[in-house]
């Protein structure tokens, strides 16, 4: 068991050496992969979102495809379609780019609803239905969708019910000055990054084994109750902070409870712990909840964010 974790920790270390200044993104990608989920990443262009998932795919020797979402995209451009083969007189299914282990859905909010739904259905069901037949996606499957927070013209916002399908919603910021300098030197070639060790090897089977191992980590009943109370607080905020009762239209769904439990366990496992602590919950709670709390018009008008609501909930709900 220790050997499996050592491989994943080494994978994390190598990624951090290649994706400078974005250790949180690397950590959340690994958590999502080990939790068998999908992640939505929001960040300005040039913050290594594409490089991060491409690097992860190459290190675990997984199939990788990138889909650039545009307004003229069709669902079949993602899922694939039946093609008529004149030589045989039959239709043959040609797989679309969604048939890969890791899929980058770049600028997912630039495609219309039908295309978004095609991808989100594949994410939820892990299969594609074409011509009355079902085609299974790989056992190791993860979508990293991206959104650009700067441009909103010509975009189609994801409905809240579809956002709920993402395990995590990660927001990334610009790197600090030291990281910026390291990036500059790396690109110019003045500082050579340590190459991947020739004896380093992590496979898809290792990832699948790590999933089972990470979810076996101990969580106390008191901490389980704490997680449940955090979710209940998003639905009944007036019991914890009456000043926020008009700011939440809808609280988090049971998917949030499941996601917070799984991500907390994996976060603790990655740190080498044998049990989950409140700190592990706090490390992932904003990424789990920020897209599952539906703010009221009043909150939006006053500039209240989901992260601020979560901060208040963390202060009001008693620690175990």
Instruction: Judge contact between 288 and 259, C-beta under 8 A.
Output: yes
Can you give the three-state secondary structure of the chain, one letter per residue? CHHHHHHHHHHHHHHHHHCCCCHHHHHHHHHHHHCCCCEEEECCCCCCHHHHHHHHHHHCCCCEEEEECCCCCCCHHHHEEEEEECCCCEEEEEECCCCCCEEEEECHHHCCHHHHHHHHHHHHHCEEEECCEEEECCCCCEEEEEECCCCCCCCCCCCHHHHCCCCEEEECCCCCHHHHHHHHHHHHCCCCCCCCCCCCCCCHHHHHHHHHHHCCCECCHHHHHHHHHHHHHHHCHHHCCHHHCCCEEECCCHHHHHHHHHHHHHHHHHCCCCECCHHHHHHHHHHHHCCCCEECHHHHHCCCCHHHHHHHHHHHCCCC
CATH of the domain at 183: 3.40.50.300
pLDDT higher than threshold 50 for residue 196: no
In a domain, 210, yes or no: no
In terms of DSSP bridges, do strands 294-295 and 248-250 run parallel, antiparallel, or are they unpaired? antiparallel
Q: Phi, psi (5° rounding) for residue 85?
A: -105, 110
In a domain, 207, yes or no: no
Instruction: Judge contact between 69 and 108, C-beta under 8 A.
Output: yes
168 and 260 in a single domain? The answer is no
Indicate the pLDDT class of residue 112, thresholds 50, 70 and 90.
confident
CATH of the domain at 220: 1.10.8.80
248 Cβ contact partners less than 8 Å away, ≥ 6 residues apart: 234, 235, 237, 293, 294, 295, 296, 299, 309
Indicate the pLDDT class of residue 284, thresholds 50, 70 and 90.
very high
Say what the pLDDT of residue 153 is: 62
Q: What would the two tokens of residue 238 be?
A: 């007036």
173 and 250 in a single domain? The answer is no
pLDDT in tens, 160-177: 878 888 999 999 988 888
pLDDT in tens, 2-50: 789 999 999 999 999 888 889 999 999 999 999 999 999 998 888 889 9
CA torsion, ordered 255, 261, 267, 271, to nearest 10 deg? -170
pTM of the predicted model over 0.75? yes
CA distance 49 to 47: 6
Indicate the pLDDT class of residue 63, thresholds 50, 70 and 90.
very high
Say what the pLDDT of residue 150 is: 74
Say what the pLDDT of residue 198 is: 43
142 and 226 in a single domain? The answer is no
pLDDT higher than threshold 80 for residue 131: no
Sign, CA torsion 13/19/24/26: negative
Say what the pLDDT of residue 197 is: 46
pLDDT higher than threshold 70 for residue 200: no
Number of domains the chain contains: 2
In a domain, 281, yes or no: yes
176 and 291 in a single domain? The answer is no
184 and 219 in a single domain? The answer is no
177 Cβ contact partners less than 8 Å away, ≥ 6 residues apart: none
Q: Phi, psi (5° rounding) for residue 277?
A: -120, 165
31 and 66 in a single domain? The answer is yes
Average pLDDT for 191-202: 54
164 and 259 in a single domain? The answer is no
178 and 246 in a single domain? The answer is no
Domain enclosing residue 230, as ranges: 215-316
- The Cβ of residue 34 has, within 10 Å, a number of other Cβ atoms equal to 25
- CA-nearest of 176, 164, 170 to 149 is 170
Say what the pLDDT of residue 48 is: 86
- CA-nearest of 92, 101, 96, 138 to 119 is 96
In a domain, 201, yes or no: no
């Amino acid at each position: 068991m220790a050997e499996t974790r050592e491989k994943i920790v080494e994978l994390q270390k190598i990624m951090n050496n290649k994706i400078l200044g974005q250790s949180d993104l690397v950590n959340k990608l690994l958590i999502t992969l080990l939790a068998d989920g999908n992640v939505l990443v929001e960040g300005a262009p040039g913050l290594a979102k594409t490089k991060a998932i491409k690097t992860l795919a190459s290190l675990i020797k997984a199939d990788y495809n990138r889909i650039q979402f545009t307004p003229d995209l069709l669902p079949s451009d993602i899922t694939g379609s039946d093609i008529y083969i004149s030589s045989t007189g039959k239709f043959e299914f040609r797989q679309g780019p969604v048939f890969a282990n890791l899929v980058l859905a770049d600028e997912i909010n630039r495609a219309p609803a039908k295309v978004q739904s095609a991808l989100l259905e594949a994410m939820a069901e892990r299969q594609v239905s074409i011509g009355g037949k079902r085609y299974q996606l790989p056992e190791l499957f993860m979508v990293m969708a991206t959104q650009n927070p700067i441009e909103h013209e010509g975009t189609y916002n994801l409905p809240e019910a579809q956002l709920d399908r993402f395990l995590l919603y990660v927001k990334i910021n610009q790197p600090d000055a030291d990281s910026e300098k390291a990036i500059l030197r790396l690109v110019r070639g003045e500082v050579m990054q340590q190459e991947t060790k020739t004896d380093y090897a992590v496979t898809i089977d290792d990832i699948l084994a790590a999933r089972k191992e990470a979810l076996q980590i101990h969580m106390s009943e008191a901490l389980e109750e704490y997680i449940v109370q955090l979710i209940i607080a998003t639905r009944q905020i007036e019991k914890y902070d009456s000043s926020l009762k008009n700011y939440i239209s809808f609280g988090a769904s049971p998917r949030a409870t499941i996601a917070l439990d799984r991500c907390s366990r994996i976060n603790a496992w990655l740190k080498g712990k044998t049990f989950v602590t409140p700190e592990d919950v706090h490390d992932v709670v904003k990424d789990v909840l920020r897209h599952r709390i539906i703010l009221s018009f009043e909150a939006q008008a006053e500039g209240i964010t989901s992260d601020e609501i979560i901060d208040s909930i963390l202060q009001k709900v008693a620690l175990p």
